[in-house]
Structure 1
Amino acid sequence: MSSAPQTSDDVIELRVHGVSGAGAEQILGRPHSHQVAGDASGGFHRPLPGYPDAKGPAGITVEAYRWSDLPSGTTVRTLSLVFLLPFMLCNVAIWMRPAHRGASGACLKALCRLLALTLTMLYVLAAMGVALDVIAWRCLPNESCLAGRPWLSWLGGRPTGLRLAVCALLPAAALGLVWRLGARPGHNFDAFHTTTTTGSAAHQLSAVGQWDSAPVVGRLRSLHVATGFTTLCLGLLVARVAAGPSALGIALLVGTAALLGSCAVLLCVHPWIDAVSNGFVDRLCTGVRTVACLLTVLVLVAVAIDPTPWRPGVGLPGYSLTGALVILVQAVLLLVLGTMVFASRGQLRGTVAGPADPTGRLDPDEMRRGLGRDGLGAGPLQGLGAPVIAAVATGLAVALSADLVFRVADLLNRRAAADGERNIGAPLGFKWAIFVFLVAAVIVLLTAIVVTLASRPARMRTARATVARDFPDAPPAARHRLYQVERTIARARFTERLELLAVVYACTVGAGMPTILLGMQELSPGVVVQRLTGIPEAATNFGIQVGSLLIAVVVLGLLVGGIFAYRTAEFRRYVGVVWDLGTFWPRAAHPFAPPCYAERAVPELSRRITYLTEQGHGVLLTGHSHGAVLLAATVLQLPHQVCGQLALLTYGSPLRRLYGRLFPAYVDDEVLCEVGDRVNWRWVNLWRDTDPIGGWVFSPHRPGRQPIRSGPPGTVDRRLRDPADVVSPPGDSVPPPIIGHWPGESDPRFTAAMTELVGKLRARHRRR
């Protein structure tokens, strides 16, 4: 759609929403709007001219950028929440690693990418567990399992090799599905890719619009697809050799192992993988993928026609060993990653508390004073986000894979052992995985209860002190409303405690993953627990059933959350922030993660802002929640002559509270000061104590108090009392609402901040 015609307005407000999914009319706060640029997925909208109140404060034109459909549609989002969540979390982990240069940084990136590769292998192994181990090996030879199941019985009398080859088409199809989803763009982003950064290249955040380039993701995708197919081949060939070796099987096994090792090595050669343009590497990765596909066809044919007899066994030969080795490799990678990050935690560059300097950087004593009062200091994840989130992703992937195999085996196990037939059960390693998940869930639940109860007095004391300062003259009749505000502030301050729960879960899962070795020794969880604690085996087996049910509840919860996240306000506020935070980051580790919406949003915003300034307009950028992050990345990418005509208003901003804590290498104090410098400190950030997501950027000072930052950074943050009052205003019967994280553009204090920034832009324009 063509851009809007030039108007006589000297200042235009460009409003970027956050996690809302709201329509253009709601973002603009006007009942009628029309699109002036973009498309249905990401478009720019203005109020229809000719209607009353079409102008914003100070007579400026309001324009909204609606990007909520860019992360993905509702259906894709729902499916992605379940199937792609471990991939997304693992992909986010690579961006949470500390800012290391040289060999150390390359090692951390390699560890994250290798972990992502093992998740793809685990995905294929889970499909193999269902198709090959449970169905082809355990169920098809079992007459009681085939009874009443014509969709399986047609394979019952076939040779073992043929059964395995036919059933292997299921994991191959599952891999093809994620291959197709990863290769199919949710939106056409090609027109928004840029080749160079027009602004400063001092910070990696300034290149957000160029991160998710097609060549890098394409190379990663080719290597992951090749790894998935070689994993399938490896499982079949290990079973073939273990159940009856043959010369052809051994030769194919050696070739498959060599190909798998080549994929892992190529993944760690970062100059090749991360190159913007390298035709040789593109052809090499595509060639590896093609060889893997051809090898899979060859292996399927070889397994199907190999006349070597198969030795009988309880489970598919070698499958439990292969799965256990993959999980053990994951545990080792997590251990090495955690050790490297923890060892360098005290040497992080650019964390939220930097040394004092003449340009107004943070002073440690002042920062401790400010953070101690407002509780936004460095938390457990500060610098440790990469191993923690990687462990969470791995633990979730292992649990989902184990429960899938366990559930299918349980479903097919009707009349098991009837007439002396073999029991259709899941491998013991997967039972251990479910048991570890149950233990981790119980420990996290107990930790959450302890942390909630232990922190509540301090949170409530702070909340009461805040309310007492904000409403010193509240009448006794407002006591109930005051208590509601106190509880809201106390709940909002619990956000930082969630980091501890993630750390506890990650540590429990990481410590429990080696128990897969017990499954390899044919030791069940019930037997081991009974020997160590005396708890009856039946109780542990019942716990495993509960753990499996709990995993199913998690999957159902993700489905429900995906369905209602953009239909229900409460779901949208919490589920949406996690999803949009994850999909903001490019696919630098796992190519099957959901696509990065910033690859279109930031270049599109840059072009629109540049166009408006070229028409002679000053532009007031207003960003709520994740909209503030998009605008910060955009400002860093714009030319300096464009930034000279901008002002920035952020509210509900997670820049410091979430991004600064979780991604210290990309959103640090230096980056935030660079944003302020570029707009000549025409920047106002509004924040509320009742907001569980957003917060201050430079200083948590309150009205009437000196900021803890000297110089221009100390003028950015402005705390808003929320609610505006605790008593009903004249002519009303209810007190003002508690806004929390909601935008609140109708707030007079928001209007005052806008008017102030517009005045600065106009004053600069007059001086020109």
Structure 2
Amino acid sequence: MSGASADKILGHPIVVRVAGDRHAGFYRPRPGTGAAGGASPGIAVEAYRWGALTAGAAVRTASMLLLVPFMLSNLAIWLRPRSDDRFGLLGALCRLLAGSLTAALMLAIIGVTVNLVGWQCVPYAECRADRAYLSWLVALPMGPRLALLSLIPLLALRLFWSIGARSARTFEGFGPTSPEPEPSEMTESLTTPGFWDDERITAWLRQIHVGIGAGTVDVSLLAGVSPGRSLIGPLLLDAAAALVAFCAVLLCLPVPASSAQARRLLRPLWVTVAVVTCLSLGYAAATPATEPVVGQLPGYQGSTGGLVATQGVLLVAIAVVTFRRQKTNPTGNRPFLRGLGTPVVAAMSVSVAAAFTATLVFRVADHLDRGHIPDPVRPNPPSYGPLEPPVAYWWAAIAGLIALLLVAAAAAATLVLTRRRRRTLAERVVGQDYPNVPADAAARAHLVREIITRSQVTDELGPMLVVFFVVSALGLATVALDLLGIGPTQLATRLSGQHDQIGVVAAYTTDIGIWVISLLVVALLLLGYRAYRSHETRRLVAVLWDLGTFWPRTVHPFAPPCYAARAVPELTKRVAALAARGPVVISGHSHGSVLAAATILQLSPAALPSVALLTHGCPLRRIYARLYPAYLGDRTLCELGDRLDWRWRNLWRDTDPIGGPLFGRHRGAQPSCDNPAAGSVDVRLRDPRAITIDPADTVPPPVERHWPYHTQPQYQAAVRELADRAGRAGTTDPVAGPEPPT
């Protein structure tokens, strides 16, 4: 795993770093202390460990959990079925959706600070009673009070900027040496020079998202201080709205081809953002005292409802465009979710963001009204004021509960309905590997069958995600109710006409939804706290970041940084240097095999003849080719084999829930390459090695599953074969490395 130590990867207690730094580096056994564990004679073993890029500093790992919605929105564009639209219509829609997530974050913080605290709570004596941290605000007129509280979302925006850009220094010096590519050139494949260099795009998007966030704060503040009282207020409100609209237009435009062009466009944007924000804060601070209006901050409920409507329209448009642009796989293997991974993950990003924002607003409202959950059916006492979150958050709570129940039901149904098929496959594998099982080993054989049965669950996740997307699509029906300001309890009361019965039931159902999504978010925060305190938990979180932060940030700039932006160029340089001195066998386990494949696709033609590839526990075909058909589909896998002249071996087990075969007819899959050499790539390992207990031992051999592979005889045989095939160059011993960790 990416957080594994170098000594565990090498199987040697004393290792030294020979290249790289503390974030990511290359390690070998210290000279004079023996060879790496299981190394073949004459093979120098070197390991590449990138763990600190995804499971490094505790504070960084914990804070990255807050960026999950942004990470999902950035991930969505890479799941599309074709690679020719990252900067076209689909890319523009995904970037607009990402911009709406930034606006949603700002609206949630505004809802807590400006709406609940400044507008609804402070004017009421019983809400601010015994709260010294709030009571002093009552001395400020409404305008200065709201202006002061508006600084909090602006500071939060700056904080998210810092978290998103936290590793710029870590990646310095590892970018591509080629000139900046044109955006159109970056849409083809992983072989494009500079494919992993995302800093120019991220810097461009980061400035635009800051404009969206600041403009959202400005619009909300100006709407709250009654701008209609003078001519200046409406003009500033129009300017702030125009700023947000202009940033949305910039998101639809192609990224400038050079940094100089980007700076020419962004300097006026920076000046505009600073001027409009300063004038908005100044105008609010200078606004005389006004009589507070009972209810929401003026314009706030309409803003949240309008944002939900915008996100709904964008999700529908993304689904339509993706569906129309998918293409059938010529091998007959259907892409995951029929190529609709982009709208599914985009809907997940919106749902997770809604859970985060609704939890924040509801928990603060619950605290301010001293434990009462306000609702139109059960209003607060008049002395408290409404203290009500907007209607959009009520619908988010009940939709979250329904989605959770339906997805759980779909998961249970999937496991039950597919168990017979998975069990049949497991029985066939066990019968093939262990044809004559003695009676005393029957329990062991049954255990192996169950492990193989459970390992196939990875291939059955599609129905759950389809159900989730359908629920999200049906949730769009609430958009009209959001805009009308009708909540779940109000709708139930109007439809039934029974205020005391149906309305109360709907109110309590909504309360359950609020608590369910709140508990889920709190559990995520506890995981972040645990990651702060525990290195082992950080390693677990790092596995998620391995999957979610592999691709460049080309949609949302506040997403966790792409570690491959350093790892792939660094591996490419290292392998090219080693290949110039002798043959190199790149050994990649699990996600390391994906990095190894990306490295080979970036190697120069001069280095390729001395390079061979050994993958084990490899998810390239089982997961990545299905999720990312545009970049790691069958065509890419065949191209990878052709580049290496098929100096490639892939070790896999039926008990492995992650890795699997890449080519051939295993598990009913059709061959993905016409080249006959592709059929020799996959090497199946029997796991466990035996069912019965060896006479020289006291226990049966263990079931290895996903780790380890490098301890098997087939691994050492593959290394020797690939090293021989790569040929000998110069007098240097061949190098088996780097072996990326899991």
TM-score (norm 2): 0.91
Residue number among 47, 51, 68 corresponding to 1:85 in the alignment: 68
- SS of the residue corresponding to residue 666 of structure 2 reads coil
Output the CA distance in 2 between the equivalents of 1:573 and 1:189.
21
Identity %: 41
2:201 to 216, 226, 231: 216
Is 2:202 the counterpart of 1:236? no
Matches of residues 374-523 of structure 1 in structure 2 within 5 Å?
377-378=333-334, 380-414=336-370, 417-418=380-381, 420-523=383-486
> Structure 2 CA distance, aligned partners of 1:637 and 1:719?
28
Q: How many matched pairs?
A: 716
Other-structure match for 1:607: 573
State how far apart, in whole Å, the 2-side matches of 1:462 and 1:330 are. Answer: 43
- CA drift at 1:150: 0.4
Equivalent residue in structure 1 for 2:547, among 581, 590, 597: 581
CA positional deviation for 1:319: 0.1
Match of 1:252 among 224, 227, 236: 236
Query: Residues 198 and 696 of structure 1: is their aligned pair in 2 closer, same or farther, counting only changes over 3 Å?
Result: farther
Number of the residue aligned with 1:697: 662
Distance across 1 between alignment mates of 2:290 and 2:382: 25
Task: Give the C-alpha shift of residue 282 in structure 1.
Answer: 2.0
- Secondary structure of 1:99's match? coil
In the alignment, does 2:505 pair up with 1:539?
Answer: yes
Q: Work out whether residues 701 and 719 of structure 1, in 8 Å CA contact, stay in contact via their aligned partners in 2.
A: no
Change (3 A) 1:747 1:198: farther
Say whether the 8 Å CA contact 1:623–1:650 is kept in structure 2. Answer: yes
Q: State whether structure 2 residue 718 is matched by structure 1 residue 753.
A: yes
Segment of structure 1 superposing worse, 713-722 or 287-296 = 287-296
Contact 1:700 1:707 in 2 (8 A): no
One-letter amino acid of the structure 2 residue matched with residue 517 of structure 1: A
Structure 2 equivalent of residue 597 of structure 1: 563
- Aligned partners of 1:343 and 1:458: how far apart in 2? 32
SS of the equivalent of 2:364 reads: helix
Q: 2:315 aligns with which of 328, 334, 345?
A: 334
Deviation at 1:271, TM superposition (A): 4.5
8 Å Cα contact 2:335/2:626 also seen in 1: yes
Secondary structure of the structure 2 residue equivalent to 1:156: helix
**1:15 maps to which residue?**
none
Equivalent pair of 1:58/1:758 in contact (CA under 8 Å): no
Helix, strand or coil: the match of 2:650?
strand
**Taking structure 1 as reference, are residues 572 and 674 closer, same or farther at Cα in structure 2, changes over 3 Å only?**
farther
* Distance in 2 (alpha carbons) for counterparts of 1:568 and 1:497: 32
Q: Which moved more, 1:335-344 or 1:706-715?
A: 706-715
TM-score (norm 1): 0.88
* Equivalent residue for 1:32, pick from 14, 17, 23: 14
Contact kept in structure 2, 1:58 and 1:755, CA below 8 Å: no
* CA deviation after TM superposition for structure 1 residue 226, in Å: 0.7
Tell me how far apart the structure 1 counterparts of residues 131 and 612 of structure 2 sit (CA, whole Å). Answer: 68
The one of 257, 277, 283 aligned to 1:302: 283
User: Does the Cα contact within 8 Å between 2:9 and 2:47 map onto a contact in 1?
Assistant: yes
Question: For the residues of structure 2 that align with 1:202 and 1:414, how far apart are their CA atoms?
Answer: 54
Contact 2:198/2:553, CA 8 A, preserved across alignment: no
Q: Which deviates more, 488-497 or 658-667?
A: 488-497
Matching residue within 136, 140, 143 for 1:154? 136
Deviations 1:137-157 (A, max 9, x none): 110011111001000100113
Aligned to 2:589: 624
Change (3 A) 1:495 1:532: farther
SS, match of residue 180 in structure 1: helix
**Bigger CA drift: 147-156 or 294-303?**
294-303
| CA distance in structure 2 between the aligned counterparts of 1:517 and 1:78, rounded to whole angstroms | 39
Q: Following the alignment from structure 1 to structure 2, what is the Cα–Cα distance between the partners of residues 642 and 136?
A: 64
In 2 relative to 1, CA 732–404 (structure 1 residues): closer, same or farther, beyond 3 Å? same
Q: Is the 8 A contact 2:399 2:475 kept in 1?
A: yes
Aligned-pair CA distance for 1:232:
0.6
Question: Structure 2 residue aligned with 1:121, among 99, 103, 121?
Answer: 103
8 Å Cα contact 1:47/1:54 also seen in 2: yes
Q: 1:380 to 1:638 in 2, by over 3 A?
A: closer
Counterpart code for 1:108? L
Q: Aligned partners of 2:442 and 2:371: how far apart in 1?
A: 64
Describe the shift of the 1:626–1:569 C-alpha distance in structure 2 as closer, same or farther (beyond 3 A): farther
Give a deviation string over 1:214-242, Cα, whole Å, max 9, x none. Answer: 22111100000011000111111223347
Q: Which amino acid aligns with 1:218?
A: A
Per-residue CA shift, 1:600-622, capped at 9, x if unaligned? 111111111111122x2111100
Task: Tell me the equivalent position of 1:143.
Answer: 125
Asked if 1:225 corresponds to 2:210, the answer is yes
Q: Which residue in 1 is equivalent to 2:615?
A: 650
SS at match of 2:631: coil
After superposition, give the CA deviation of every residue in 1:486-523 in whole Å (9 maximum; x if it has no partner).
22212221112223212221221232144143244343
The residue number in structure 2 matching 1:675 is 640
Alignment of 1:348-367 (within 5 A): 353-354=329-330, 362=331, 364=332
Q: Which moved more, 1:314-323 or 1:479-488?
A: 479-488
Paired letter, 2:635: E
Q: CA deviation at 1:23?
A: 0.8
Q: Is the 8 A contact 1:245 1:308 kept in 2?
A: no
Quick check: 1:142–1:422 contact (8 Å CA) kept in 2? yes
SS at 1:57's partner residue? coil
Residues of 1 paired with 2:592 and 2:370: CA distance?
A: 53
Correspondence for 1:8: none
Query: Can you list the C-alpha shifts for 1:441-480, whole angstroms capped at 9, x where unaligned?
Result: 1111111111111111111111111111111122122222
Find the aligned partners of 1:201 and 1:39 in 2 and give their Cα distance.
29
Shift of the alpha carbon at 1:173?
A: 1.1
| Offset at residue 308 of structure 1 (A) | 7.6
Deviation at 1:49? 2.1
Q: Does 1:281 align with 2:262?
A: yes
Is contact 2:336-2:627 (8 Å) kept? no
Pairing partner for 1:320 from 301, 306, 311:
301
Superposition deviation, residue 381 in structure 1:
2.2
Alpha-carbon spacing, 1:76–1:380, altered in 2? closer, same or farther (3 Å) = same
User: Is contact 2:336-2:626 (8 Å) kept?
Assistant: no
Q: CA deviation at 1:570?
A: 9.7
Separation (CA, whole Å) in 2 of partners of 1:282 and 1:477: 74
Aligned equivalent of 1:266, options 239, 250, 255: 250
Aligned 8 A contact 2:122 2:134 in 1: yes
Amino acid of the structure 1 residue aligned with 2:41: A
Farther-moved stretch of structure 1 (662-671 vs 49-58): 49-58
- Distance in 1 between residues matched to 2:469 and 2:187, nearest whole Å: 34
In structure 2, what residue type is equivalent to 1:75?
A: A
SS of corresponding position for 2:3 = coil
SS at 1:36 equivalent: strand
The offset of 1:741, in angstroms, is: 1.7
Shift of 1:702: 8.6
Quick one: structure 1 residues 671 and 336, their matched pair in 2 at CA, closer, same or farther if it must change by over 3 Å? same
Q: What CA distance in whole angstroms lies between the structure 2 residues aligned with 1:80 and 1:388?
A: 25
Measure, in 1, the Cα distance between the counterparts of 2:644 and 2:439. 46
Out of 329-338 and 474-483, give the one that drifted further: 474-483
Counterpart AA for 1:264? A
**Shift of residue 251 of structure 1?**
0.4
- Larger mean CA deviation between 136-145 and 528-537 belongs to 528-537
1:231-268: CA deviations, max 9, x gaps?
A: 111111223347x5421111011111221111111111
Q: Please, which runs of 5 or more residues in structure 2 have no aligned partner?
A: 373-379, 732-742
Counterpart among 169, 174, 180 of residue 192 in structure 1 = 174
| Partner in structure 2 of residue 43 of structure 1 | 25
> How far off is 1:186 after superposition?
5.8
User: Would the aligned equivalents of 2:337 and 2:462 in 1 still touch at CA under 8 Å?
Assistant: yes
Q: 2:112 aligned with 1:130, yes or no?
A: yes
The answer on whether the counterparts of 1:71 and 1:596 sit within 8 Å (CA) in structure 2 is: no
Range moving further from structure 2, 492-501 or 304-313: 304-313
Report the alpha carbon displacement of residue 529 of structure 1 after superposing the two structures with TM: 3.5
